[in-house]
Structure 1
Amino acid sequence: MALHLLKLSVGSESVESLEDFVARRMQSAGTDHTWHQTRMVPKRQNELLDGGSIYWVIKGQILARQLLLDIVPFTDDSGISRCRFLLDPVLARTERRPKRPFQGWRYLRSEEAPPDAPFGSEDDGLPSEMRDELNDLGIF
């Protein structure tokens, strides 16, 4: 069973803003994937690369995930060890789950991860504000 990572998407206001960031990064880098860079290298790499994803916390809610493609440790120009998570550019929306702020990333076991949303994994055409209100009303 895959192991996942949980990470705050700092600066993102919505899943759409994270998707825009991913698209801009890939265009500027000229790649077909995106990445997230961090200082710590996970010790459980084999479990993470066995179908694991990064689950993104946006404004206090787990809202989306991206499939982990690879984990690349490296040393930057200043001699500091870093790690780059290579990610599939497609964000899958998940069922909402509240999550308090934390620093860095956390492991997330498969049985604790929210399932993909029954709708909205593709663009369902709803603005995120409307989706939020419908969720708060218990419609979604």
Structure 2
Amino acid sequence: MTRVAIGCSDYPALEARIAAHAAGGEIRFPTRFRPKRADELIGGKLHFIVKHMLVARAEILRFDDRSDGRVDIVCVAQLECLHPQPRRAHQGWRYLNDADAPKDVDNASGVGELPPDLYRELAELSLI
């Protein structure tokens, strides 16, 4: 599942927002409607788009109904950095096939420790 990280200018801004809104190791993202494939999404990942690039993801724990009729997507409040992958912005969320999901960053090589802007530029040049 993909979601645009509105108002986040880069990966560190998204990471700071997640940390600021986390409660008990979880973070909630409100949405208007429960996904039809909600059962198969539990244990899957919510991918975040920042500046037209998939940059991070968090594990989906469950979907909780709210008293106002909306639904919370409840995720683990820890981001996994990804190889940036171009993605068009959209409203709300979209399903993402496993085959289209970006790969994890290989931290053993040290590439994952690069500053996010430099990492994105190198990925756009197909150098990493």
TM range (shorter): 0.7 to 0.9
Q: 1:111 aligns with which of 99, 104, 125?
A: 99
Count of residues in correspondence between the two structures: 127
Alignment correspondent of 1:22: 18
Q: 1:61 aligns with which of 38, 44, 53?
A: 53
Alignment correspondent of 2:25: 32
After superposition, the Cα gap between the structure-2 partners of 1:65 and 1:128, relative to the gap in structure 1 and judged at 3 Å, is same
Secondary structure in structure 2 of the residue aligned to 1:67: strand
- Measured in 2, the distance between the counterparts of 1:73 and 1:40 equals 10
Matched, 1:135 2:102: no
Q: How does 1:58-137 map to 2 (within 5 A)?
A: 58-76=50-68, 81-119=69-107, 124-137=112-125
Quick one: percent identity of the two aligned structures?
28
Provide, for residues 84-134 of structure 1, a one-character-per-residue CA deviation record: whole Å limited to 9, x for no partner: 0111111111122111121111111212211212239x9944322222232
- Measured in 2, the distance between the counterparts of 1:47 and 1:12 equals 28
Greater C-alpha radius of gyration: 1
Structure 1 residue runs of 4 or more that deviate by more than 6 Å after TM superposition: none
Structure 1 unaligned spans of 5+: none
Provide, for residues 46-90 of structure 1, a one-character-per-residue CA deviation record: whole Å limited to 9, x for no partner: 1001x21101111001111100011112232xxxx2010111111
- Let me know the Cα RMSD of the aligned residues: 2.0
Alignment correspondent of 1:8: 4
Structure 2 unaligned spans of 5+: none
After superposition, the Cα gap between the structure-2 partners of 1:83 and 1:100, relative to the gap in structure 1 and judged at 3 Å, is same
**TM-score normalized by structure 1?**
0.81
